[in-house]
Structure 1
Amino acid sequence: MSTLVNVPKNGSLATTNSNVNFPTWSNWLDDIFNRDLPSVFTSNFNPGISLPKVNIKENADSYRVEMAVPGLKKSDFQIDLDNQVLSISTTKKEESEEAKENFTRREFGYASFKRTFSLPETVAEDKIEASYNEGILSIHLPKKEAAKQKPARRIKIS
């Protein structure tokens, strides 16, 4: 493939490809998978669990980490704390087999993710709690007493 570079009088570069009418390998493969294969092959493809989004909220007494991960069970999660690094991960394997007189069909899938967060020193690590309800994993990170915001008060002058 030859590429010609024209330099116009204003100094900018304009690229001209002499093989414009020939598809590239990636375009050709995209066309095959997006147009030529029956939709039964492409519609059943599951790339796995994507990296879930996380909301982190802070109030005077604690932090709360909320992660939307529907379709899992609480036993699917592993939450670890090591040297002020909180790790949330899951691994899910699915297998199914259908055996009939003339054929056997096996399907399997594997999906996983891992999110890690560096915790501030103000978190009371021994009081961290987690719950999973209706597709939301919620982790409560209470602050140490010394780090909690004290209410404003008025000081009298003597």
Structure 2
Amino acid sequence: MSTVMRRKRDAEIVSPFDWMDRVFDEWMRSFPLREPFGFAWDRLGDGLIRVDEYRDGDTWVIRAELPGIDPDEDLEITVADGVLRIDAERRIEDRAEEEGYVRRELRYGSMSRTLPLPDGVTESDISATYRDGILEIRVRAPQRVVVEPTKIKVKKG
């Protein structure tokens, strides 16, 4: 299980080092030698759900590639403590028979991804749809209340 770090968003200043940390963390999660035994070259990043993130007006959109997933049986999306978590279970079986030879390629496994949510987002601000192997999660940005600064009087003495 990986740790979740709060990412800076919107008006907050993001340094180039924050961006590089994020890129490095994502790269490390997909690195094949992270498997405990043997080499997993053929399973490059199987446990990582790859996503595209972008803004569409006031909505944050997350698109995840999840082919072969039954969203009713194999997909769970949860929100807790300002973090969105996507968990999926893949069961794909490919069978080919040719001149007395049978080849089976089974792919089973769980995948997950955790993404920090903007401050103030509630469960009612989130909706999800699944179509043609793509999960799309839309997070409506909370309305920000602009508070005028107030002056504090300084007393002498």
TM-score by length of 1: 0.50
1-side partners of 2:82 and 2:59: how far apart?
15
1:124 shift after superposition:
4.1
Separation of aligned partners in 1, 2:71 and 2:87: 11
Instruction: Determine helix, strand or coil for the equivalent of 2:144.
Output: helix
Which AA in structure 2 matches 1:65?
I
The RMSD of aligned alpha carbons is 3.2
Q: Compared with structure 1, are the counterparts of its residues 136 and 108 closer, same or farther at alpha carbon in structure 2 (3 Å cutoff)?
A: closer
Give the 5 Å matches for 1:73-152. Answer: 73-75=70-72, 76-93=74-91, 110-146=108-144
Partner of 1:64: 61
Q: Which has more radius of gyration?
A: 1
**4+ residue runs over 6 A deviation:** none
* Secondary structure, counterpart of 1:146 in structure 2: coil
d(CA) in 2 for partners of 1:85 and 1:129?
A: 15
Question: What TM-score does the superposition give when structure 2 sets the normalisation length?
Answer: 0.50
1:37-78 CA-to-partner distances (Å, cap 9, x unmatched) read xxxxxxxxx749452321111133110100111111112111
Structure 1 residue 92: deviation in Å? 3.4
The count of residues paired between Structure 1 and Structure 2 equals 97
CA gap 1:116/1:126 in 2 versus in 1, 3 angstroms: same
Kept in 1, the 8 Å contact 2:77–2:86? The answer is yes
**Secondary structure, in 3 states, of the residue corresponding to 1:145?**
coil
Uncovered stretches (5+) of structure 1, i.e. residues with no partner: 1-45, 96-106, 148-158
